[in-house]
Amino acid sequence: MIFRQLFDSVSGTYSYLLASRRGGEALIIDPVLEKVERYLQLVNELDLRLVKAVDTHLHADHITGLGALRDRTHCVTVMGEQTKADVVSMRLADGDKLAIEGLALDVIYTPGHTDDSYSFILPDRVFTGDTLLIRGTGRTDFQNGDPRQQYESIFGRLLKLPDETMIFPAHDYKGETVSTIGEEKAFNPRLQVRSVDEYVNIMNNLKLSNPKMMDVAVPANMRVGLHQDDIASRGWSVTAEEALALVGRPDVALIDLREQSERERHGVIPGAIHLPYARLQENIAAGGMLHELAKSTSRQILFYCAFGERSAMAVQAAQDVGISSARHIQGGIDAWRRASGPLIH
């Protein structure tokens, strides 16, 4: 496995680049906007293809790099389903898998620092965001934080992992880079409590000042979504209500860009063809299924995904290679559901 731990000294943020092999797919966890050029340089040097950019939670101390990485690489942006961010391509839930070629991380919901905090687990390591830090825990006094929830996330879930499991947090301010579950059980001062009430009392009396970037970072990080209005202004989108009249027509090919796990969880629009976003380029290239479908028939290509971000990027890519019939459902299946569109489970 390719694994790189990257540090932003201004915010004390760790970002993590993972891939199963050189030349393969990669994902990055908790990227920082100001470090995007460095990430892309490293991705290029390692001959990787960035396909997913993930935030463990809505950050208050730095502006996320999710949007910039999406715009530069067309990667899928990922957060937990509780996020207040306007649009991310994919929202994960407890028990899901965060998967790329050769790697699959278990997704666990670990609220407490914020109400949208998640951790991601590989067999030998866990990425804990701000839930569990090295010799500390994330504050719980803003963004719907809750010390009781955090206690359960830590003691009920994270500390039940094997003692040798390595901990890679989203932040450190003392120069520490890695710990283990066993170390934190033994030496983390906030974990040496005898009850949830004792933990709550500690967390409620920290008297910390707000993060310096909070007033800037939180609003910015809630607005990371691709501006789908740009696609609509070119006439390349339809609303969910308009799509209701198109589904089932013989001159429309409905293309579902989501991953199989999303289809199983949220349902499928009847008649849709499953062509995951990860295979988009091969499908729209000469000889690819969508290229040949558009070339040999007069069918309109109608993409959809979860929230419209992947499908908007797919429309732009399809138009760029001459598939002029490509459109997408603005707002994705989320908008389709709100329009009472039918779904097959």
Instruction: Name the pTM for this structure.
Output: 0.94
- pLDDT band for position 287 (50/70/90)? very high
With 0-12 / 13-18 / 19 or more C-beta atoms within 10 angstroms meaning exposed / middle / buried, residue 195 is exposed
pLDDT digits (tens, 9 = 90+) for 161-178: 999 999 999 999 899 999
Find, among 97, 102, 101, 172, the residue nearest to 134 by Cα. 172
SS (H, E, C) 141-208: CCCCCCHHHHHHHHHCCHHHCCCCCEEEECECCCCCCCEEHHHHHHHCHHHCCCCHHHHHHHHCCCCC
Cite the DSSP H helix spans in 28-170.
36-45, 66-73, 147-155
Contact criterion met (CB below 8 Å) for 88 and 77:
yes
Find, among 281, 267, 341, 343, the residue nearest to 313 by Cα. 281
What does the chain come to in residues? 345
Q: Sign (positive/negative) of CA torsion 237, 241, 245, 250?
A: positive
Q: What gap in Å lies between CA 159 and CA 153, rounded to an integer?
A: 9
Find, among 150, 64, 89, the residue nearest to 306 by Cα. 89
Q: Which of 35-44, 93-102, 240-249, 291-300 has the lowest mean pLDDT?
A: 291-300
For residue 295, give both structure tokens: 């070339």
Statement: residue 138 has pLDDT above 90: yes
Over residues 18-22, the mean pLDDT reads 97
Helix (H) or strand (E) holding 215: helix 214-221
Find, among 319, 264, 267, 261, the residue nearest to 290 by Cα. 319
Contact criterion met (CB below 8 Å) for 300 and 242:
no
**pLDDT for res 296:** 85
Residues 180-189: contacts with CB within 8 Å, 24+ apart? 181/126, 184/132, 184/134, 184/135, 184/159, 185/159, 187/135, 188/132, 188/134, 188/135, 188/136, 188/137, 189/135, 189/136
pLDDT digits (tens, 9 = 90+) for 191-235: 999 999 999 999 999 988 888 889 899 999 999 988 899 999 999
Q: What gap in Å lies between CA 138 and CA 82, rounded to an integer?
A: 18
**pLDDT for res 144:** 93
Statement: residue 5 has pLDDT above 90: yes
pLDDT digits (tens, 9 = 90+) for 50-84: 999 999 999 999 999 999 999 999 999 999 999 99
Domains in the chain and their CATH numbers? 2-223 (3.60.15.10), 228-339 (3.40.250.10)
Q: What gap in Å lies between CA 216 and CA 64, rounded to an integer?
A: 11
Over residues 233-259, the mean pLDDT reads 95
